[in-house]
Structure 1
């Protein structure tokens, strides 16, 4: 008989057609409201955002600072740094480019502060530039040095006959060329069911796997849960399993050679993505010299049984 497990952190309450709290890529699908923010959150924010968004924010902040100081130099009198050009736009451009030279501490020498006010502003701006670029350098190092797993999971979750029974399977591989050392995986099944009070509740089960830990993984690992009499899915037919309000939540950890420490990755599957009576095609083969060739494009490829 299947044994329920304690709530793994997702909560028991639910409703019909409730969204998963974990996205397929392992990111959170929870909308936070009334969350208090403070300056300590900045580091986590800049570490976790995408590279495109990170550099877009840097360019935006850099441009905005130069615009502000460019206007400031025009406001105190552009003659404090160079000869006036006669129009506000041309004077602003001179102020903008002088601000860029000061902010980056380049100092080409063509424009220089002459008055005491301009010197004070330039000194203050140079300090802001040094602090800003130190901050950006720290963020870049943090983003590059943050230990991250780089696993790819198959897009499909499959249900097929296996050793005279049925089994649910999915595959994963390491996107890097390094070898995964001692990978260990935990798979939790969440089923949303209606109880006698007409309330929808989540029931959680930790699935027993054919293998939950191996020594190392250079190619592909197929994760298999056999549906036997101890499985929470044993009482359902194939079509019923396909139509369940159910999710798989996956946590895998392994020792990553690149960072010399353990890394973790989360993933999830919705049973709407379940394919029935198919099997995975082989993603590895041997070349003419006998070397193993791993085709990453075949990770999710299936064929009829």
Structure 2
């Protein structure tokens, strides 16, 4: 019993390709104690099944209660479950065909309770559906790799981001962090987070592409580090993007991470901005993830 209780308070962490993965994170079944979060994280097929089971269970429950009242519903065959079940469906949805109707105080009381329950259920389902549809999602793509190349005479870590929607992300902000294993002066092993200063961490309108730059100078936590040291210390560069979607005027978020195997040293990104013969500028997204050695 003690070992089972101890395991219930443990969170498993896996290291996969340099990334730390928390078991059960962002999976719908991990929110079973939080019904609202559960419905928001379930796939649409799961939501439909969830609604069907709840709807079926409520009507089965009320049908059994009507049966306990004996001949309490007019034109319903006493003891016929399906008659009471379909009467419950009509009452719950406020359909009221008139073929069956309550004829005792007991059945009228149940109809009152079920009618109120139906109104509450419709309001809750409408709210959940609106919450799912109104969630703003960021369609931002990050380059599959990051590169370290000289920029203005300083080794610079850089990666690309692009807005896949043809609209503006207003007041877009980019933050970059370095996660790595370190040892304190007392010999304690810790996972420490360092801020990575960016040349430009925000833009008034993010519409096309964004080349994010972090100079590796004497103030950078990456200063003097080697590719081998990055792997040994389990370095991960976490990138967070936030802004306001101009179309729906809602705050959106997105994130990406780079492990040492995805950081190419002495490489630079292939230029994707070209000028056509007629003088127009175009962006070639076909080479968005491509780089070339110096």
CA drift at 1:105:
0.7
Q: In structure 2, do the counterparts of structure 1 residues 101 and 173 end up closer, same or farther at CA, with 3 Å as the change threshold? A: farther
Matches within 5 A, 1:91-106: 91-106=80-95
Matching residue within 42, 49, 62 for 2:41: 49
Residues in 1 aligned to 2:71 and 2:263: alpha-carbon distance in whole angstroms? 70
Q: Aligned equivalents of 1:67 and 1:288: distance in 2? A: 72
Moved more, 171-180 or 230-239: 171-180
Is 1:226 the counterpart of 2:215 in the alignment? yes
Which among 99, 107, 112 is matched to residue 123 of structure 1? Answer: 112
Instruction: Report the TM-score when normalising by structure 1.
Output: 0.70
When residues 80 and 111 of structure 1 are mapped into structure 2, their CA distance, relative to the original with a 3 A threshold, is: closer
Q: Aligned equivalents of 1:129 and 1:114: distance in 2? A: 20
> Cα distance 1:283–1:135, how it changes in 2: closer, same or farther (>3 A)?
farther
Which runs of 5 or more structure 2 residues have no equivalent in the other structure? 1-12
**RMSD in angstroms over aligned alpha carbons?**
3.9
Return closer, same or farther for 1:21/1:48 CA change in 2, 3 Å cut-off.
Answer: farther
Cα pair 1:152 1:175 within 8 Å, conserved: yes
Q: Deviations over 1:237-293 (max 9, x none)?
A: 1232244322333333323212335x2425242525524245555677799996857
TM value normalised by structure 2: 0.73
> What is the rounded CA distance, in whole Å, between the counterparts of 1:292 and 1:63 in structure 2?
56
Q: Which has the higher strand share?
A: 2
Deviations 1:201-245 (A, max 9, x none): 233322121321223121122322232332211221123224432
CA distance in 1: counterparts of 2:61 and 2:261, whole angstroms: 51
Q: After the TM superposition, which residues 174-189 of structure 1 pair with which residues of structure 2 at under 5 Å, given as runs?
A: 174-189=163-178
| Paired residues of 2:149 and 2:268 also in contact (CA < 8 A) | no
Q: How far apart in 2 are the matches of 1:303 and 1:272?
A: 16
Q: Which runs of 5+ in 1 are unaligned?
A: 1-14
Q: Provide the secondary structure at the position in 2 that maps to 1:215.
A: strand
Aligned length: 270
Select which of 212, 228, 240 maps to 2:229: 240
- Name which structure has the greater RCO, CA cutoff 8 Å, separation 6+: 1
Deviation at 1:125, TM superposition (A): 0.3
Matches within 5 A, 1:26-175: 45=37, 48-52=40-44, 53-77=46-70, 80-84=73-77, 91-146=80-135, 148-154=136-142, 156-163=144-151, 165-175=154-164
